[in-house]
Amino acid sequence: MTTPLDGKIALVTGSTSGIGLEIARQLAKAGCRLMLNGIDTPSMVEDAISDLRATGADEVFFSDADLSAPRQAARLIADTLDSFGAIDILVNNAGVQHVAPIETFTDENWDRIVEINLSAPFRLIRQALPAMRANAWGRIINIASVHGLVASRHKSAYVATKHGLVGLTKTVALETAAEPITCNALCPGFVRTALMESQIATQARTGSMSTEEAAESILREKQPSRSFIAASDIGAMVTFLCSEASSQITGSVFTIDGGWTAQ
């Protein structure tokens, strides 16, 4: 039996753990060959590759391109083309966060977040499009955030870059609208990743409460479902947006946020 994306080549950034790994897992189940990318430890990279091979991925490669450096985006695309000869799917998932009031937000933190969350996706899209056009097919999916649509205090760089990523998505969609290439964005709410665990730990510490009480407090403030978003739901949506059923969906922004932006 063939799978929906049999033989398609997918590059997923930030894919050796968390949401990115689950996206890669879902794409592997759909038949994709995969290029992983991340800055995790060698053992985590090996675990991720083993996981995906066990899931059914025929070919899995890894590039350690560090997207905090401007020239590394080009290297990541080159690594993918050297390994597979093509790129069909680009998922811009890698992202970083820093929480601080704007008056104490350093230039260093601002620049790093802008580079990874917004400039790297721009550069990767720019480099990947010629390969997609050569194949006459492509899917670009940007993992933004609910913070690409609304703001929260003390997250100036994150909110600015995620809003920018939504705008970039729409622009790329318009520039490729007459071609068999689509570009869409996903805006998840709170997912219980390592990044989220750090925020929960901080809330628990400052509020003198347990970890689970802190998690419930964070959800109660923003996410009406009072449940964390499952990474598998994000992966499933990515897979759908890569399918032929989504060929006329482009420039769209999808929330997976437990009702956050409905308020």
Q: Measuring CA to CA, which residue among 110, 126, 14, 145 is closest to residue 67?
A: 14
Q: What is the dihedral angle through the alpha carbons of 230, 234, 235, 241, rounded to the nearest 10 degrees?
A: 160
User: Under CATH, which architecture does the 9-189+230-256 domain have?
Assistant: 3-Layer(aba) Sandwich (3.40)
Residue 90 has pLDDT above 90, yes or no: yes
Cα-Cα end-to-end distance for the chain: 44
Which range is most confident: 6-10, 190-194, 198-202? 6-10
Task: Tell me the chain's radius of gyration from C-alpha atoms.
Answer: 18
Q: Tell me, what's the pLDDT at 256? A: 98
Q: Give the active site residues.
A: 158
Mean pLDDT of all residues in the chain? 96
Per-domain residue ranges for the chain?
Answer: 9-189+230-256, 191-228
17-21, 144-148, 191-195: which has the minimum mean pLDDT?
A: 191-195
The model's pTM is: 0.96
Residue 1 has pLDDT above 60, yes or no: no
